């Protein structure tokens, strides 16, 4: 059904009673400011050893550890095996989760185990397709880190493999299932900001770590690292520690800021407004500071066009990344509409509704005589452009997660494991994952081609 985005609809819903008030702020107070608490219901059960979901981790690097830590907070989940190409990470996994873990440098050994129900794929991007498909064929449910694919052409193979396997595949954009996204989607569908006209997203960083200059351990060597396996389908190159530990800096293995950061925003945006994605992109940027051998930009600005659909008006999106932000860093995600704006985070949503000025003020009247100004004022007053109704429901409401909220990362894994148990649906399946990744990767297509690129968000292919 087409979303009703009119101010009248939103005000009517807000005035209906307490049930509607969970999504709408108070409407009889002008220029208000208030805070409300978000909440979510979870099903907590005691699981026996036979009821546990046994989990395998493939890629025990930074994100793999954060993923597994979040996953193991969900009741009824046990980590039984881990795979990584660096011995030190296998040692770290046992340090974190016990010496009884099965550990290997070959993910195929892990997939052969009959006691594993699901796997986390947290490898470099160029391995996502191969390992995800192999895991599905091995009868495992898969949680694949974003971006789902390194190249958009790979996506259909994962979609097909998931359907053929009968297993579940959830793409891991960890904020997708958060309270913030859930509330923002509800507000948008209630018409809280009117018609969407712009999305403004930025991520500023000001540290070597934030720019992916990760530390290289002193024991790293050809003996402790399987560098040839790491290369996989990528071009053959001499052994180099920076490529292994800082793989995000290279096109051969990663997807740059687009696949690492844009894809989160596209996942959230497409989810909130029920969209298939943009149809055009224009990117610019460059390597301005971190000239450490990387071949991806550290400053990136991409403009996206979204076409009109049943769920949103045509609008524009601005995605900006700066890895050398002298301001010190920060980030934001803001949906701007004809009647308000929403700042969306995993733990909060801030809705601001302002009054649209329709009557001229002193700035534009100064060029007219006093008599003419008076006539203009009378004409505008007769049109009644600024009614009392237009002054209602103006101000700011912030919805915040409670202090004991476990976070969007936990929620995403909770949904994944609930779906495995037949108690819910995957919120980010491979089709959704390809649309988010494909949209993000348009930035790379445009940047390296130095021209705008067109995308079919329904068929999920470059035009």
pLDDT at 22: 46
* Confidence band, pLDDT 50/70/90 cuts, at residue 17: very low
* Confidence band, pLDDT 50/70/90 cuts, at residue 387: low
User: Above 70 in pLDDT, residue 349?
Assistant: yes
- Whole-number Å distance between alpha carbons of 394 and 409: 33
* Confidence band, pLDDT 50/70/90 cuts, at residue 457: very high
Number of helices (H), then strands (E), in the chain:
16, 17
pLDDT at 15: 44
* Confidence band, pLDDT 50/70/90 cuts, at residue 49: confident
Question: Are the CB atoms for 397 and 351 separated by under 8 Å?
Answer: yes
Q: What is the mean pLDDT of residues 248-254?
A: 98
Q: 316 and 200, same structural domain?
A: yes
Specify the DSSP element, H or E, that contains 83. Answer: strand 77-83
Q: What is the CATH number of the domain that holds 97?
A: 3.40.50.720
Extract the tokens encoding 295: 């071949």
Question: Are the CB atoms for 37 and 400 separated by under 8 Å?
Answer: yes
pLDDT at 384: 85
Query: In terms of pLDDT, which residue wins out, 10 or 356?
Result: 356
Extract the tokens encoding 1: 């059904």
Q: What is the mean pLDDT of residues 364-386?
A: 92
Q: What is the mean pLDDT of residues 83-96?
A: 98
pLDDT at 272: 98
User: Above 90 in pLDDT, residue 273?
Assistant: yes
Q: 308 and 212, same structural domain?
A: yes
CA 350 to each of CA 24, 40, 334, 342: distance values in angstroms, whole numbers, following the listed order: 12, 18, 9, 5
pLDDT at 88: 98
Q: 279 and 246, same structural domain?
A: yes
Residue 437: which of 411, 410, 455, 414 has the closest Cα? 455
Give residues with Cβ within 8 angstroms of 292, minimum separation 6: 213, 242, 249
Cα radius of gyration (the chain): 25
422 located within any domain: no
Q: 331 and 246, same structural domain?
A: yes
Q: 441 and 298, same structural domain?
A: yes
Q: 199 and 82, same structural domain?
A: no
pLDDT at 356: 87
Q: 189 and 88, same structural domain?
A: no
Question: Are the CB atoms for 323 and 211 separated by under 8 Å?
Answer: yes
pLDDT at 44: 83
Q: 195 and 126, same structural domain?
A: no
Q: What is the mean pLDDT of residues 432-452?
A: 98
Of 126, 157, 172, which closes a domain? Answer: 172
Q: 271 and 397, same structural domain?
A: yes
Q: 317 and 188, same structural domain?
A: yes
141 located within any domain: yes
Q: What share of the chain is helix, strand, coil (3-state, %, to 5)?
A: 35, 20, 45
Q: 449 and 316, same structural domain?
A: yes
128 located within any domain: yes
1 located within any domain: no
**pTM score of the predicted model:** 0.92
232 located within any domain: yes
- How many structural domains are present in the chain? 2
Lowest-pLDDT choice from 38-52, 57-71, 112-126: 38-52
- Whole-number Å distance between alpha carbons of 157 and 137: 12
12 located within any domain: yes
163 located within any domain: yes
Of 144, 172, 200, which closes a domain? Answer: 172
pLDDT at 346: 96
Extract the tokens encoding 411: 């929620």
Note the pLDDT tens digit of each residue in 132-189. Answer: 999 999 999 999 999 999 999 999 999 999 999 999 999 999 899 999 999 999 999 9
Helix orientation angle between 62-71 and 87-97, rounded to the nearest 10 degrees: 20
Extract the tokens encoding 315: 């609008």
Q: 187 and 123, same structural domain?
A: no
Q: What is the mean pLDDT of residues 399-426?
A: 96
40: which DSSP letter? Answer: -
* Structural domain harbouring 110: 49-172
What integer best gives the mean pLDDT of the chain? 93
In this structure, the chain runs to a length of 463
Q: What is the CATH number of the domain that holds 266?
A: 3.30.360.10
User: Above 50 in pLDDT, residue 327?
Assistant: yes
Of 156, 172, 188, which closes a domain? Answer: 172
240 located within any domain: yes
């Amino acid at each position: 059904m087409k979303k009703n985005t009119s101010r009248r609809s939103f005000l009517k819903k807000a005035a209906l009673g307490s049930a509607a008030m969970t999504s709408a702020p108070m409407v009889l107070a002008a220029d208000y400011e208030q805070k409300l608490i978000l909440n979510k219901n979870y099903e907590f059960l005691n699981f026996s050893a036979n009821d546990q979901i046994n989990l395998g981790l493939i890629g025990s690097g930074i994100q793999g550890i954060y993923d597994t830590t979040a996953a193991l907070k969900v009741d009824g989940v046990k980590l039984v095996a881990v795979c990584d190409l660096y011995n030190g990470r296998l040692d770290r996994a046992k340090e974190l989760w016990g010496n009884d873990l099965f550990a290997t440098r070959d993910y195929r050994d892990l997939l052969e185990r009959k006691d594993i129900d699901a796997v986390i794929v947290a490898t470099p991007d160029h391995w996502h397709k191969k390992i995800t498909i192999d895991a599905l064929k091995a009868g495992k449910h898969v949680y694949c880190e974003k971006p789902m694919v390194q190249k958009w052409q790979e996506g259909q193979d994962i979609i097909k493999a998931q359907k053929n396997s009968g297993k579940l595949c959830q793409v891991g954009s960890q904020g997708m299932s958060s309270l913030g996204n859930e509330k923002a989607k509800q507000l948008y569908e209630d018409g809280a900001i009117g018609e969407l006209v712009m999305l403004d997203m930025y991520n500023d960083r000001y540290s070597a770590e934030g720019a992916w200059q990760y530390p290289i351990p002193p024991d790293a060597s050809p003996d402790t690292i399987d560098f040839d396996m790491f290369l996989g389908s990528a071009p053959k190159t001499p052994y180099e520690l920076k490529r292994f530990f800082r793989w995000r800096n290279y096109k051969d293995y990663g997807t740059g800021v687009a696949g690492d950061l844009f894809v989160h925003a596209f996942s959230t945006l497409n989810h909130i407004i029920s969209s298939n994605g943009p149809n055009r992109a224009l990117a610019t940027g460059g390597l301005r500071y971190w000239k450490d051998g990387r071949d991806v930009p550290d400053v990136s600005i991409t403009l996206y066009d979204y076409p009109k659909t049943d769920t949103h008006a045509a609008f524009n999106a601005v995605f900006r990344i700066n890895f050398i932000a002298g301001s010190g860093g920060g980030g934001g995600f803001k949906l701007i509409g004809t009647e308000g704006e929403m700042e969306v985070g995993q733990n909060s949503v801030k809705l601001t509704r302002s009054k649209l000025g329709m009557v001229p003020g002193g700035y534009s009247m100064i060029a007219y005589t006093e008599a003419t100004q008076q006539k203009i004022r009378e004409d505008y007053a007769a049109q009644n452009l600024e009614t009392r109704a237009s002054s209602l429901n103006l101000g700011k409401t912030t919805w915040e997660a409670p202090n004991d909220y476990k976070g969007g990362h936990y929620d995403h894994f909770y949904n994944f494991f609930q779906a495995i148990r037949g108690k819910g649906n995957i919120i980010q399946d491979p089709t959704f994952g390809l649309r988010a990744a494909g949209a993000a990767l348009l930035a790379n297509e445009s940047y390296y081609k130095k021209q705008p690129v067109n995308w079919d968000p329904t068929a999920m292919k470059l035009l």
